[in-house]
Structure 1
Amino acid sequence: MTDFQKLSNWVMMPLPMILLLAGLCVADPFTTAQVSDNEVVKQTAADELTGQNEDIENVIGNLSRSEQGGGQMTNSTSAPEAFITTTSTPKPTSTSTPILTSTPTRTSTPTLTSTPTPTSTPTPIPTPAPRCPGNQLPLRSGEGCGCPVGMVKAGEGHCTCPVGYVEEKPADCQDIDECKGEVQGPCGLHANCTNTSGSYVCNCLRGYLMGPGGCEDIDECALAEVTGLQACRSGAECRNTPGSFSCSCPIGYVMALDGQSCVDVDECSFEEQCRRELGNVCENTPGSFVCLCQPGFRAQAPACIDVDECKEMPEVCVGQGMCENTLGSYKCVCQRGYRGNGTHCEDDNECASGRHGCDTNARCGNVIGSYFCQCYQGFSGDGHSCFDVDECALGNGRCEHVCTNEPGGYSCHCRQGYQLAQDGHNCTDVDECAVQNGTCEQVCTNTQGSFLCSCSSGYQLHIDVHSCVDVTSCDFRNGGCDHVCTVRAERLHYCSCNAGWELAKDLRSCLDVDECGDFTNGGCEQLCQNHPGGFNCSCREGYIPQTDDTTKCQPVCEPGCQNYGVCVSPHTCDCPAGYPGPGCSAMCSPPCAHGGTCIRWNMCLCQPGWTGPGCHTAVCDLPCANGGRCVGPETCQCPSDYIGPQCMSPLCTPACLNGGRCVDVNKCTCEGGWQGARCQIEPLQCQKPCKNNGVCVGLNRCRCGHGFTGSLCETEVTTPCVPPCQHGALCSPHNKCTCPEGTAGLRCERLTCPVVTTVVSMARAVRKGVRESYVDRCGPLGVQLCTKYRINQVRVYLQAYRVGYRIQCPDKKGK
């Protein structure tokens, strides 16, 4: 039994035992030994009330028996709550008559006196039944009143139900279920409520103990410290939770599989702060790790940090040399503007080597240890960045007309009609009339920057402002005519109009002729619409123009008249006999169904697969068997016991299982050893025997024993190792690692043999035209695959090596 189980059993002990073991408090006297320490019983007066009612009933019963038995009385320890007196008549015989007197208190005792008389014959005194106050009832003797059974007095003459009961009917008290109705109940969240007659009992949940305020949480962690038991083991820290507790591990540890102890974490198997690739060594410690640093590094918890020799030894590099820190060491390099090996440095001519930052529009000048940049004329800037100066922005560059900025300069240009003077800034007028008369047909006049053309008398300048037009002919503005200009003799002309127009009174303009305005209606049969220079004939609604004569109209029928019918008016056909339908179509009754076409009166042309009047009968070339019915082309509707295209296959309901075949209605033929009406009974048969004490429980099904799994119980169940095994080691039972050759340690984390590089594969590869050379590190200890590329030329085919790492141990035979 573990300490945790001991603690669990110890927590469930009664409170007096816990307090005695812990020595935390003094034992208090308990009122009853039958009630559990984790139970609360509601204190009621039901027991006392029940005892009072029993006393009353006993007295009433005794009085009844005494009247029936000739006045013999027995002493009673209880008396009724009404005064009852019995007397006797004197007789000659010497007998004694008992006189019973009771008082209304529970502690009174009846007084029995004897009087010598000759005879003792009791004579009952008849008294009327008393009227009882409230809901009290007369006693059986007829004298006095009392509460019904199960009820108690609650005031002057009033009876009520005891605490824990409710009066549902007159004189009927029913128990109240205190545990029902409330969300938490009277016991709270951490207890179970059990109803009892007239009361209830609270039982605390596991991990809680009854206290003054109800069920209170047990601090298992504090309890373990007092009793000396261990709630958590192996350095685990105990933390109390409501109703339970939990174990947690400090930094550097992880919880073991048992959930109570802690296991040290080997940080050296995954940490990167020691920089082991640089030769530093990581050493695991309980709960942490330390770094053993190489020269050039300094141990500073928790890692190895590089020593900056340049800061600690400023004079390590002399002259023009400059110290540059590296990982684990340092090197001397020349200052900027110098070149050399760091020990001997000389000036670097940046302008000659091209290692300068001057702009393309600047001049580079070398100086000792540096260089300078100066922008060319027409550019402005610091020499490293030069931008063009816009000379035109200031005074238009002194140009008379147009200034155009150019990179590093500017130029002047003149507007059309001017030419640039010899000074390159001013402009002079060009005389266009001096050359080819300025392209004018008759007269050319020079102006500043341009020229004008003009014509002689009798001519007018053309719209092209160069040619001249004779204004006395039809060539100029069509002689003023709207339509047609005709030249007569002696250079005279007259105007005429096109068809559909007539000459106006000014003998130049043309007016439209309204052809629809006379009685002929323009020759149109129905409607005539006039438009400038002509007219159009159209038809009223329901008519369209005839194709051979657009002035005539013909009616339109929708749908069109078929079967030699004639459209005689809009949507009205004159049909031949036998085609009375719309558009002279045939009519069939019943209508043709399933895509059939009515070709004449009551005659349908059916689609393939249908026949009969109205194409309502389906056609099945192969008849439907077993009572099936043809409901569609080659489609049978089968009864409930058959399926298939022709209803030939019987149906089993429910279906046959596990490869069984239905051979008749609800009759299965089973295969492979299966049995039952539906082949549902599995055979107890395993073709391959179960391994590792497995038991065959069905068809090729094994029930495996503890620690094994798989279809044949061939696989041993193993739990993952924490922390995980490394370097390809196998996780064995009991959280142990089976290390391969060349490794050692609890998690096979140490290498006992050297690591060598092997070429896994080689393939031709094409790389981009860049220069690069790099090697990828393949994990902390180099057991994963990685890829190396070596490129030193542009766009060439190279071998791409895929390399791997493996552990190689010395050959034992060679030792």
Structure 2
Amino acid sequence: MRTTGEVQNQTIWEDFEFIEVKEKYLDDCKPKCEEKCSPNADCVWRDKTQKPKCVCHEGFERLPSMPCHPVCISNCGTNTECKSPGSCECIKGYNRSAQNFSNCDPICTTTCGAHKICVKPDTCQCDSGYAEDKLGVCHPVCKKVICGNYEKCTSPDTCECVDGYGNASGHCQPQCSNGCALNKFCARPEICQCQAGYTEDQLGVCRPKCSAECGQFEECIRPEECHCSTGYTRNHVGTCEPECLNKCPENSFCIKPEVCECKEGYQKSGHGDCKPICNACGNHNYCSTPGNCSCLEGYHRPKADILDCEPKCPEGCGSNADCTHPGKCNCHPGYKMSENGDCVPICAPECEEHSYCLSPGKCDCKEGYIGEGNHCTPKCNIECGDNSYCVLPGICECLAGYKANDKDNINCSSATAMWIIIFLGVVSITAVISLISCVAFVFTRRYKEPVFVKHTDADGTDLRNVDLRRYDTRLEGIDNSSYI
């Protein structure tokens, strides 16, 4: 038996059989293996004692019951295969992954959509925590929690309020972006409704409802609750009446909120208070009540039928004064107020010690004195003697130098007194004579014709001088010694 490929007598040993081969095909003869070798293997007959077998090409290897396949030094990634020695390639229907270049991701020719991934070529599958509905849309699944009213499962095991609702105290409530007016609530998204016990009027305002009609000046402020209207207050009877916070003046009443009106018989004055109305009141009167005039304080009406009121002085004013103001007396003309508060007459000049002012300008002697007007002397009931005089009413007193002869000083006598009188008389006469002589001497000197002496001045002018040498001028204080 010869090795395959050798030419000998135009025959080739193959599989221990002789095969006739034409000369021209001799170079194409190869060993034949019992099994068909894979494209990556050759049929090799290395041991002549054994049959030819398939041997993998370089870079390929053969595993039991498997054809030769290429060998890659490092393991190929997911969804890849070793297509040639040392080269990993994506299997059909896969592309190299952008996240991990060693791996290959499946190719889906159509987009999988939200919450889906391409798990194998042209096959989409919902993400974990999502489930696919009949339309092929993936929705999140909430298994651990149960979504409440107006909630939806927005992500796996996560509930959120649906559109138009917001979380309030752990519950989803409808939201109204502009808010709701008084006594309204947000019933549905962007829709407000009246609260229970309220009804909406034509203007869209929610008004409280009271099944029983409210009384006068009352209004339904809350469901089934009537209150006094603004400006009114409930009185002790239980009805509502107008209220005036500043309080109405006396003799007026509150007819509507903050408006006062005078009672009947009264009218408003310029100061805003209510005064009674009277037809006519006299002097020092005031209208106390409608149609009734009363005297001012400190005045009284002398008689009921007299219109004017007069001032009143409780302690009286006396005969010489009038009550001109309440509690004040004024004296009549010619009178003045004394320290005791009495009106006394005025006398000018003032009356002397023993007289008094009887009436304006008229003095009269006091009791025990006699005289006329302002000249009064004491009066003694018993006439005093020659040498005594009436010194006080009913009392006589001896003259100086005399001694009383009785207890009443009526008769007085004294010798010494007579000589004294004579001496005084002589002295008086002498003094009068001396005075007359001095006066006569002065007049004589004054009217005596003086003696003149003529002289001629240096320029020839005549001068006339009195010659004083004849006279004693010492009495006048003139020194005429130069003329002697």
TM range (shorter): under 0.3
Please say which structure displays the higher CA radius of gyration.
2
TM-score normalised to structure 1 length: 0.16
**TM-score, normalization by structure 2:** 0.24
